[in-house]
Amino acid sequence: MGIRHLILVLLLTQLSPSDRVAVDRYRSAIQSAESAASRLAIEPAFSAARALREALIPKLESLGDEEFKNLQQLRGLLINREEVVFIKPDVDYFTKLAAARGDEADRAFFAALKATYPESVWPIYIEQQTDYSGCTRFGGMTLVEAYRVWLEFQRRFPDRYVNGAKEETEAVLHELTQSTCACGNAAGVEQELEQFLRRFPESPARVRIDQRLQSLRNRRSDIRPNCTSG
């Protein structure tokens, strides 16, 4: 056990044993991914990051300052609890790691993730308006493009990063079917929904999106144009 690892373990005293296991598994997975031992180690590291996020998100705000700062030292993660609480993968870190140590699926996955999250935190189809919320960029075709990117990844690599790719496609569909806060005007919303239906006629969300489009055209939509979130 290295000195840095020992110090980290000693400082994470407020975490439960199972939570500390999640931290240690992630740290070990990242070390394996950074080594040249295996070209199939990056996906397990990303999965370990997801497990760590699920374990620690409910506890972040209750941690002591020193303990929280030491969690932030974990490589490959962006951890925040000011205004908004999140644990997210550092997309630039993983993109570089995939380029140096990964295989074709690793590089494709993190290229898609970088296209979706240019700065790691906010997806390209959301315009940040406050520390914790934003409006949906209907009309710029960012939703359509993000969905295309993730469908293409799933087509090329159906057995790789399954949960991560599914989470991203579902996030896009959630905005298309549930968001009521549009950054732009109603015409932009209509254009985005129309384009999605043309591009992806087999989408499982087709019926719901068509219903939203018809409601918009009939002026019964709950979508607020030129919306300010918060």
Q: What is the DSSP string of 173-211?
A: HHHHHH--BBSS-HHHHHHHHHHHHHH-TT-TTHHHHHH
37 and 138 part of one domain: no
101 and 128 part of one domain: no
Residue 116: inside a domain = no
Residue where a domain stops, chosen among 109, 131, 155: 109
Chain CA centroid to CA 2, Å: 31
Q: How far apart are CA 110 and CA 117, in angstroms?
A: 10
79 and 18 part of one domain: yes
Q: Count how many Cα atoms sit within 13 Å of the Cα of residue 104 in the half-sphere of its side chain.
A: 4
175 and 206 part of one domain: yes
2 and 46 part of one domain: yes
Residue 135: inside a domain = yes
Residue where a domain stops, chosen among 109, 133, 168: 109
130 and 101 part of one domain: no
99 and 148 part of one domain: no
Q: Which pLDDT score is estimated for 63?
A: 87
66 and 9 part of one domain: yes
Residue 114: inside a domain = no
| Residue-wise burial string across 57-84, b where 16 or more C-beta atoms lie within 10 A, e elsewhere | eebbeebeeebbebbeebebbbbebeee
Q: In terms of DSSP H, where are the helices of the chain?
A: 3-11, 17-34, 42-56, 65-71, 91-101, 104-116, 142-156, 162-178, 186-199, 206-217
Tokens of 82: 């000011």
Residue 198: inside a domain = yes
- Point out which residues pair with 182 in neighbouring strands: 136
102 and 130 part of one domain: no
Q: How far apart are CA 226 and CA 135, in angstroms?
A: 9
Domain, as residue range, for 144: 122-230
Number of folded domains that form the chain: 2
187 and 126 part of one domain: yes
Q: Which of the residues in the chain have pLDDT under 70?
A: 1-14, 36-38, 230
Sign of the C-alpha dihedral computed for residues 49, 50, 53 and 54 taken in this order:
negative
Residue 94: inside a domain = yes
Contacts 24+ apart (CB under 8 A), 27-35: 27/74, 30/74, 30/75, 30/76, 33/97, 33/101, 34/75, 34/97, 34/101, 35/101
| Residue-wise burial string across 190-229, b where 16 or more C-beta atoms lie within 10 A, e elsewhere | bbbbeebbeebeebebeeebeebbeebeeeebebebebeb
Q: Which pLDDT score is estimated for 13?
A: 54
Residue 117: inside a domain = no
137 and 193 part of one domain: yes
Task: Give kind and range of the element (H or E) at residue 87.
Answer: strand 86-89
Residue 115: inside a domain = no
77 and 130 part of one domain: no
Place of tokens 């975490």: 15
Residue where a domain stops, chosen among 55, 77, 109: 109
